[in-house]
Amino acid sequence: MIRVLLIEDNPADARLEQRLAELEDQLLDAQKIAAIGRLAGVIAHDFNNLLTVIHGSVAVGKQSLPADHPGRRSFDLIEEAGRHTGQLTRQLLAFARRHGIEPRIVDLNQVIADLEVCSSD
């Protein structure tokens, strides 16, 4: 963003310029956090997809072994690790939901006018 401002030796102008710079920094920080939230959501969904495969494979593996087979312990450990990973994934999704929302100003009069146009078609 390019801004051209003429600031004379007026302290009010200098304070206004400083406040504007602070607000721009806050906006950039908010945009970064929102981007991190979106990334967290993408990662969480990818983890969920992988966990689905892992859980399915564990279930099939456990069914293929007798109850007293020593290999079932390995499947139990994988299953437990999958549960813990699922908890982490849920935390990522919660973070993504909190920071993935991008509020915006909406002109309700325009929304209603658009709805009226759509309903008359």
Give residue 45's domain range. Answer: 15-100
Q: H or E stretch including 33? A: helix 11-63
10, part of any domain: no
73, part of any domain: yes
Q: What is the CATH number of the domain that holds 89?
A: 1.10.287.130
Q: Cα dihedral angle (78, 79, 81, 83), rounded to 10 degrees?
A: 160
50, part of any domain: yes
Q: What is the pLDDT of residue 116?
A: 64
Total domain count, the chain:
1
Q: Kindly report the pTM of this predicted structure.
A: 0.56
Q: What is the pLDDT of residue 63?
A: 93
pLDDT band at 20 (very low <50, low <70, confident <90, very high): confident
Q: Which residues of 29-40 are buried (b: 16+ CB within 10 A; e: fewer)?
A: eeeeeeeebeeb
Q: How confident is the model over 42-85, as pLDDT tens digits?
A: 888 888 899 999 999 999 999 999 989 999 999 999 999 998 89
30, part of any domain: yes
Q: How confident is the model over 30-50, as pLDDT tens digits?
A: 888 888 888 888 888 888 899
